Structure 1
């Protein structure tokens, strides 16, 4: 009987935890990505992501990221950039009692591309220095800032179906460089539609796995990569 009682307790506890962190909800990420070419060697990365615990409600995270890209050649790019992240870590709670997590992030990145038959592969290596602050709800209490380091590797595969449609898949592993080694793993698949020569939309599914939780997310992303070199030349 004690064993059954313990099993029931664990199931109830796990169910309560899943409910509190929104694990049982099918959330959504709405995203914009841009690579704005300003010269033969340089471009500016722009990015905005709005993440929700549910499809259109339950704010989870705002992520704004930018960076300067250096194009070594058409298949190799390095980036140095900055990101601002505002996170609500709790799904079900009184909003007035939620501690918001604010993060300022510096990152360094290297992208390498290659093609095998019709498959286009992209390898992305990223290092991050994360300055994380938990906002205190107590008056006159200074918020502590923690510095954490993280490495990420993403392998992405794109398969053109026609001139308009394509499939996109990736798997990304997050490795903590302190404390517990495994951070998270993101597995993604999507159908993409080329709108113009330099823009497309992707609609897909993301399985985001942490040590103690797995989140299912709809992803809708808009990519816009304008060539601004003519504008910058006129400015000179």
Structure 2
């Protein structure tokens, strides 16, 4: 899936492309609720603009997990996204609200744990307008998006029961718009994120990793953006 996506991206004909450099920091957290099949999901992220000039995006995404089995988890949640938007040379942070549902399946490929994540988002995107020479939000428009995420964690020890030590991570996520796509880019394909990282597992409860993420975004008409991202991520499981 990762290599197919990269091949498709590399062979897409685009007339207007831009390249950016950014940094992302993220915290992915799961908090168990004792004596139940439930847990709380929370991820918090901050992303910079091109060449690290300013903050571009803040994201807070809580959710409630239900563990059908040890390797199968369903989640419903809410997401708040504050993004830096520009219109007529005016810039402001405008909010997007999301309702999202996902299903995760985990399994092993030899000693490598693999995760498949299927997510659907209902996105309420702020409509930017200029009022008194200021950029403001005039209501929200609804669109929908499907995301498929594939991730593998490779313990350098080669042990299947991996609880501590260094590891490598390889992942890919493809984003597809559906229903009312004119609110975004007018296309089914939205973006793709390919990621390679190295990290350290301090315990069963905490991982820290740093890596390179290649974000390929499809804009309106033939506009495309390529973002080279340095990402620092922490994973907490309590």
Secondary structure of the structure 1 residue equivalent to 2:120: strand
Distance 1:75 1:142, change over 3 A: closer
Q: Which residue of 2 aligns with 1:175?
A: 176
TM-score norm. by structure 2 comes to 0.79
What residue in structure 2 maps to residue 59 of structure 1?
Answer: 55
* CA–CA distance in structure 2, aligned partners of residues 130 and 142 of structure 1: 15
Structure 1 residues 54 and 181 mapped into 2: Cα distance closer, same or farther (>3 Å)?
closer
**1:106 aligned residue:** 99
- Structure-1 separation of matches of 2:62 and 2:74: 13
Q: Is the 8 A contact 1:199 1:223 kept in 2?
A: yes
Q: Shift in Å at residue 159 of structure 1? A: 0.9
* Structure 2 residue aligned with 1:47: 43
TM-score when normalising by structure 1: 0.80
In the alignment of these two chains, the number of paired residues is: 203
Mapped partners of 1:174, 1:41: distance in 2: 29
CA-based RMSD: 2.2
1:56-205 equivalences under 5 Å are: 56-89=52-85, 97-139=90-132, 143-162=138-157, 163-178=164-179, 179=181, 180-205=187-212
- The unaligned stretches of length 5 or more in structure 2 are 1-14, 158-163, 182-186, 219-223
Contact 1:107–1:128 (CA<8 Å) still a contact in 2?
A: yes
Structure with more strand by fraction: 2
Question: Deviation per CA, 1:33-55, whole angstroms, max 9, x where unpaired?
Answer: 10000134010011110000256
- Name the larger-Rg structure: 1
Task: Report the Cα distance in structure 2 between the residues aligned to 1:152 and 1:196, rounded to whole angstroms.
Answer: 29
